[in-house]
Amino acid sequence: MQERRRSLERRAVATTFLVILQALATIFFIADVAGDIAEDGWSMHLLVETGATVALLAGVAFGALQLRWLILRARFDETAVAAARGAMSDLVRQRFLDWQLTGAEADVALFALKGFDAAEIAHLRGAASGTTRAQLARIYAKAGVHSQVGLIALIVEDLVDSDAIKPVESKTQGNNG
């Protein structure tokens, strides 16, 4: 998520430079056209040049709008992930309390939720792999599941609103039926 945000930010900076260059080009053309009109009056050539200048101006405005969208999206991304992260930690904390895990078990369970296997967890915590295996077994028993996938599924189940994901058609059919 850091990577994605950074890439959005880089794009925003690059677009800013582009919009500024466009704005500079626009002022050049505006001044040029104004000078020509002041000198020679209107002509077909100047009409076309004025059209190009207006198009450039529209480009600047559009670029600025695009830029706003980019910046707001990068920020939304950041806040949405942060909000989800907060909600997720609340949920996990709640479940661990429900299951009455000990401190060490909660620690192991957290690694398990993140996808590490018993050997990796043992290594990460500097514990014997036999101990970790035993802890995992107790965690599964307390949570009422048989595997790591089951443990993860328990958490995910609370998070995913399957009604919201169903295709629109099946939903309407369901309403009809």
Partner 1 sequence: MPVSPRFDFEEFADKPVRSRRSWDPVVKITHWSIVTAIIANALFTEEGSGAHIWVGYALAAILVLRLLWGLIGPPEARFSAFPPSPRRALGHLRDIRVGKKEVHRSHNPLGALMVYAIWSMLGVIIASGIAMAGPPSTAFLDRAERSGDVSRQLVVEQGGHDDDDEAEGASGEDSVWEEVHETAVNLLYVLIALHIAGVAFETRRSGREILLAMLPGRA
Residues at the interface with partner 1 (CB under 8 A): 9, 12-13, 16-17, 19-20, 23-24, 26-28, 31-32, 34-36, 38-39, 60-61, 64-65, 67-68, 71-72, 74-75, 78-79, 82-83, 85-86, 88-89, 92-93, 96, 101-104, 106-107, 110
Is 123 or 146 the residue whose CB approaches partner 1 more closely? Answer: 123
**Least distance from C-beta 145 to partner 1, angstroms?**
19
d(CA 23, CA 63): 10
Q: How far apart are CA 106 and CA 92, in angstroms?
A: 10
Nearer to partner 1, 82 or 173 (CB): 82
**Choice between 77 and 145, CB closer to partner 1:** 77
CB 88 within 8 A of CB 159: yes
Q: Which is nearer to partner 1, 101 or 140 (CB)?
A: 101
CA angle 154, 119, 153 (to 5 degrees): 10
Q: How far is the CB of 151 from partner 1 (least distance, A)?
A: 15
Neighbours of 18 (CB within 10 A): 15
Write the DSSP assignment of 37-69 as a string of letters. Answer: HHHH---HHHHHHHHHHHHHHHHHHHHHHHHHH
Helical (H) or strand (E) element with 163: helix 162-165
Comparing CB distances to partner 1, the nearer of 61 and 137 is: 61
Shortest Cβ distance from residue 153 to partner 1 (Å)? Answer: 19
